[in-house]
């Protein structure tokens, strides 16, 4: 699918911001669909089956989180939150509701377009797990659970492979601490200390400069993301 065929639903109550987004997205040959309310968003999402949603959280008839949760009940479509809410708790709530990424207002047009393209690439890949990861000179095969570096085989523990698998399923996007802990350690776990230790160990084994990670990146207060343009092949 080419970018000219991608349809993007913008859920935003401010008409001036919708107009800016329309001009920006249409200049990149995206098809533009808009919804000024939460109720209209669900109608347009089901009618147009967009390839991506841009969702504001503050809507006149409800919260954008409700839109995200309802869409997630029937679709894995990539969702990017575009909101003036900037606290960590608000960002975490959006990501836990099912959003893939979070961009704060005022936004940079080049950054927003880059996030949109990354989200669309993930949407094309679907939910299939990419089995091959590259970290500079290190190669990790998730299917075979092997890792090779310039000096030979690198030993990763089963726990470390599970963390990598979870990050790879959401490559390029924030995976919250809570989501990682529950997917890797179990649904009733909340302690993130083991996760921090695991990420530190993975960086020491996979990153060219563990203290300046470029592949396993921290989003402060939120979680971690695997950078696909540099890590996935």
182-216: pLDDT as tens digits = 888 876 677 788 899 999 999 999 999 999 999 99
115 vs 109: CA distance, rounded Å: 10
Q: Report the candidate in 158, 165, 150 with the shortest Cα–Cα distance to residue 226.
A: 165
Name the 3-class secondary structure at 108: coil
22 vs 215: CA distance, rounded Å: 33
Name the 3-class secondary structure at 191: coil
Summary mean pLDDT of the chain = 87
> Could you tell me the pLDDT band of residue 79, with boundaries at 50, 70 and 90?
very high
Q: Report the candidate in 216, 207, 179, 157 with the shortest Cα–Cα distance to residue 91.
A: 179
140 vs 168: CA distance, rounded Å: 11
Written as six digits, the tokens of 118 are 């990354």
133 vs 233: CA distance, rounded Å: 6
The model's pLDDT over 124-170, given as tens digits with 9 standing for 90+, comes to 554 455 578 889 889 998 878 899 999 999 999 888 998 998 898 88
* Range scoring the smallest mean pLDDT among 24-28, 64-68, 69-73: 69-73
The model's pLDDT over 83-116, given as tens digits with 9 standing for 90+, comes to 988 788 888 888 888 888 899 898 999 999 998 9
**What pLDDT score was predicted for residue 233?**
43
**What pLDDT score was predicted for residue 130?**
58
**What pLDDT score was predicted for residue 54?**
97
CATH 1.10.10.10 fits 132-231, yes or no: yes
Delimiting residues of CATH 1.10.10.10 domain(s) in the chain: 132-231
Strands 31-35 vs 7-11: parallel, antiparallel or unpaired = parallel
**How many CB atoms sit inside 10 A of residue 140's CB?**
25
Written as six digits, the tokens of 193 are 């200390």
Which sign does the torsion angle of CA 153, 158, 160, 163 carry?
Answer: positive
Model confidence at 230: pLDDT above 80:
no
CATH 3.40.50.2300 fits 3-125, yes or no: yes
Would you tell me the crossing angle of helices 193-206 and 158-169 to the nearest 10 degrees? 90
> Could you tell me the pLDDT band of residue 72, with boundaries at 50, 70 and 90?
confident
Distance of CA 142 to the CA centre of its chain: 20
User: H or E segment at 179?
Assistant: helix 177-184
Q: Is there a contact between 109 and 24 (Cβ–Cβ < 8 Å)?
A: yes
**How many CB atoms sit inside 10 A of residue 113's CB?**
16
228 vs 175: CA distance, rounded Å: 13
Q: Report the candidate in 133, 136, 132, 134 with the shortest Cα–Cα distance to residue 208.
A: 136
**What pLDDT score was predicted for residue 126?**
47
Delimiting residues of CATH 3.40.50.2300 domain(s) in the chain: 3-125
**Alpha-carbon distance values, 122 to 14, 101, 143 (Å):** 28, 12, 19
The model's pLDDT over 10-55, given as tens digits with 9 standing for 90+, comes to 999 999 999 999 999 999 999 999 999 999 999 999 999 899 999 9
Written as six digits, the tokens of 7 are 């349809």
């Amino acid at each position: 699918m080419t970018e000219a065929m991608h349809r993007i639903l913008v859920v935003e109550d401010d008409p001036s911001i919708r107009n800016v987004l329309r001009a920006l997205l249409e200049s990149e040959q995206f098809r533009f669909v808009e919804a000024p309310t939460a109720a209209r968003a669900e109608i347009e999402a089901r009618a147009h089956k967009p390839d991506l949603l841009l969702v504001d959280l503050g809507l006149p008839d409800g919260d954008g989180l409700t839109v995200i949760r309802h869409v997630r009940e029937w679709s894995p479509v990539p969702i990017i939150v575009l909101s003036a809410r900037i606290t960590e708790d608000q960002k975490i709530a959006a990501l836990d509701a099912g959003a893939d990424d979070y961009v704060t207002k005022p936004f940079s047009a080049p950054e927003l377009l880059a996030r949109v393209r990354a989200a669309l690439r993930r949407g094309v890949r679907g939910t299939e797990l990419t089995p091959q990861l590259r970290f500079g000179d290190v190669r990790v095969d998730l299917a075979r659970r092997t890792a090779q570096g310039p000096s030979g085989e690198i030993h990763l523990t089963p726990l470390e492979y599970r963390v990598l698998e979870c990050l790879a399923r959401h490559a390029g996007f924030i995976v919250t601490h809570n989501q990682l802990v529950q997917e890797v350690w179990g649904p009733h776990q909340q302690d993130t200390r083991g996760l921090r230790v695991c990420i530190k160990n993975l960086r020491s084994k996979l990153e060219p400069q563990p203290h300046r990670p470029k592949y396993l990146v921290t989003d402060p207060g939120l979680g971690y993301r695997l950078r696909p343009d540099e890590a996935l092949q």
